[in-house]
Structure 1
Amino acid sequence: MNRFGMNVKFTAQPGQRDALADILLGAADALAGVEDCELYVVHVSETEADVIWVTEVWRSSEAHAASLSLEETKAAIQRAMPLIAGVESTKLKPIGGKGL
């Protein structure tokens, strides 16, 4: 299988990390029934007060792209946008390991 992965670094507006993390955790809950999403983990940085990392693994890049058209995803993006100061992402090709 040709999996697709991403590590995404969200920098929240000052003081908004927890509110943004709550939205991202809600997005993770919404993906619980999406079989094509194999992993969606939200992390907060212990060294950068406004930084949140999201690690994602999908069955394919097409599945990830399709997830962006889900109503729950669109709504989460709309709520999150005012809280985000910056986003950096790295696309990855998962090849194995514990949990895959």
Structure 2
Amino acid sequence: MYGIIGKMKIAPGQRAVVIDYLLEGIQSMPGCLSYIVSKDPGDPEAIWITEAWDSKESHRNSLTLPAVQQAIARARPLIVGFDERIETMPVGGHGLIGVA
């Protein structure tokens, strides 16, 4: 499995808009076991994204999906930067489908 935890910095006052963009069209991402968008409680311009995938290839392929491309295009002008990006190797947990 493959995982990513990332922190995005968003333009002031635009966090809710970017969250909406990131949550559009996520139901049809083959190989996605978990995709969670969270507000940073200590920073009103930060969003955390936690993802678990069946493989790194599935994650890479998701970036070519039309709905994902559209969400990225809409959110990009409002994203100030990426503070952190950590790759992980999920091994199990609640909410992960098909994990042995």
With structure 2 as the length reference, what TM-score do the two structures score? 0.88
Which one of 70, 81, 86 corresponds to residue 81 of structure 2?
86
Please give the per-residue CA displacement for 1:2-31, whole angstroms capped at 9, x wherever unaligned: x100011111011111111111121xxx23
Separation in 1, partners of 2:30, 2:69: 19
Aligned-CA RMSD value: 1.1
Counterpart residue number, 2:44: 49
Q: Which amino acid aligns with 1:74?
A: Q
User: What is the CA distance between 1:89 and its match in structure 2?
Assistant: 1.3
Query: What is the alpha-carbon distance in structure 2 between the residues aligned to residue 73 and residue 25 of structure 1?
Result: 10
In structure 1, runs of 5+ residues without a counterpart are none
Q: Which residue of 2 aligns with 1:98?
A: 94
Q: Does residue 1:4 correspond to 2:2, yes or no? A: yes
- What is the rounded CA distance, in whole Å, between the counterparts of 1:21 and 1:34 in structure 2? 17
Aligned residue-pair number: 95
TM-score (norm 1): 0.88
Please identify runs of 4+ aligned residues in structure 1 that moved more than 4 A: none
Contact 2:38–2:48 under 8 Å retained in 1: yes
What does residue 59 of structure 1 align with?
A: 54
Larger helix percent: 1
